[in-house]
């Protein structure tokens, strides 16, 4: 599942890099299409593209969560190849441990609040 997700992510970035698509020509965010408001993840693609061009402040402005996506897109394929070559499941085991940690209120609540703050900031960027 993680391999499929990173493959789709890389294909999506490649598509946006080769054929710079505008949001008006290809609406992919159902939430934005229905409500007119950006979702918490709106801008992540642009953020990752800016990171690839080493435009750090532009990447942060597009969506700070782009840094998390970029790290995942870089680390996950290498980790998957390592596990495959060594016939191990360390990425899967780490994923399961991370899910268990995220179920703890002491960690889940602050992370949810950070996403909500990011979302509010995202909305304010589009509708000042």
Residue by residue, pLDDT tens for the chain (128 residues) are: 667 767 777 777 777 666 665 544 555 678 888 888 888 888 888 898 899 889 999 999 999 999 999 998 888 888 888 998 999 999 899 989 999 999 999 999 999 999 999 999 889 987 76
- How many residues are given for the chain? 128
pTM score, whole prediction: 0.76
Torsion, Cα 35 32 65 70, to 10 degrees, reads 160
What is the pLDDT, as a whole number, of residue 67? 96
Q: How far apart are CA 29 and CA 36, in angstroms?
A: 10
Domain residue ranges in the chain:
2-126
Task: Decide if 31 contacts 15 (C-beta within 8 A).
Answer: no
What is the pLDDT, as a whole number, of residue 103? 94
What is the pLDDT, as a whole number, of residue 24? 43
What is the pLDDT, as a whole number, of residue 23? 45
């Amino acid at each position: 599942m993680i391999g499929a997700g990173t493959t789709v992510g890389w294909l999506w970035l490649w598509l946006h890099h080769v054929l710079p698509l505008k949001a008006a020509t290809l609406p992919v965010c159902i939430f934005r299409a229905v409500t007119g408001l950006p979702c918490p993840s709106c801008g992540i693609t642009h953020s990752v593209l800016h990171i690839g061009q080493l435009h750090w402040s532009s990447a942060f402005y597009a969506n700070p969560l782009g840094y998390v996506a970029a790290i995942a897109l870089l680390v996950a394929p290498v980790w998957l190849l390592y596990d495959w070559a060594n016939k191990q499941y360390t990425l899967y085991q780490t994923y399961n441990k991370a899910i268990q940690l995220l179920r703890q209120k002491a960690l889940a609540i602050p992370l949810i609040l950070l996403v909500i703050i990011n979302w509010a900031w995202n909305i304010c960027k589009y509708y000042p």
